[in-house]
Amino acid sequence: MATTTTLLPESRTESDGSAVVRVLSYNIRSMRDDTAALARVIGACAPDLVLVQEAPRFFRWRKKLARLAAASGQVILSGGGTAAGPALLCSLRATVERTEDVLLPLTPGQHRRGFATAVVRFGGARIGVLSCHLSLRKDERYAQGGMLLDRLAGMGVDHVVAGGDLNERPDGATFRRLADSLQDGWATTPWGAEYTSTPAAPRQRIDAVFASPGVEVLGCGVPTGLPGVTRADLAAATDHLPVLAALRVPAN
């Protein structure tokens, strides 16, 4: 596993009203693993936004997600059981304009999928946010990629960020569909490590953070070597590695 050799920019608001925002995308496997390790990883990444996949969905799911948010220095923004797994957490730095949980069409015999979405502001920067966990089926996944792009386009904001577990590598049709319209964070400004699955022996990148063309990607990748993020915690927290991005969002 490669290690981080350069610092990722810290969150801040610039004098022109733009903002540097740290975005973390993380499949947390319904918090079935070491939740203390999971909270330590999230906290050490110091994110402004956490795009969660496989948040708890069933018995007392709100309490479980709230405990994770509190332990990692975040608050719940949207999603969880009401979005069929995707969720959004945020720091107190965010000013929330609106949230919406979206359930996608159900394919018989498949898991229900959804999007957790929000529009938030950091200083003078306004940004739409979406967390997703796409289907294991190629045809359904491709259709969901189109729905994701349509949802972002309908948010009524100039700048957007989307992230999640795509269940597909960058050479796949759905991944390419998203990358044709949005910036793939790792491909644009690689930082940290690339592969996200699995923690014990990562060999593929199936998790990603995307940003609209007007957003500047300052760095994006798996936060190996980041102070406070240990190999032991990454291995114990869940069955995916997280993706951390620093983005400069223009004022609007």
**pLDDT tens digits for range 156-213:** 999 999 999 999 999 999 999 999 999 999 999 999 999 999 999 999 999 999 999 9
Q: How far apart are the first and last CA of the chain?
A: 39
Given CA atoms 180, 185, 191, 195 in this order, what sign does their dihedral have?
negative
Handedness of CA 51, 55, 57, 58 (dihedral sign): negative
Nearest Cα residue to 46 out of 76, 86, 12, 10: 10
Whether the pLDDT of residue 3 is over 90: the answer is no
Spatial distance between the Cα atoms of 241 and 192, rounded to a whole number of angstroms:
12
Any alpha helices (H) in 85-207, and if so which ranges?
Answer: 138-153, 173-181, 185-188
The 10s digit of each residue's pLDDT in 20-67 is 999 999 999 999 999 999 999 999 999 999 999 999 999 999 999 999
Domain boundaries, the chain: 12-249
Q: Name the residue among 191, 195, 229 with its Cα closest to residue 45.
A: 229
Per-residue model confidence as pLDDT tens digits over 86-119: 999 999 999 999 999 999 999 898 899 999 999 9
Q: What angle do CA 96, 100, 102 make, to 5 degrees?
A: 155
- Topology of the domain covering 12-249: Deoxyribonuclease I; Chain A (3.60.10)
Give this prediction's pTM.
0.97
Residue 243, pLDDT > 90, answer yes
Q: What's the pLDDT score for residue 6? A: 79
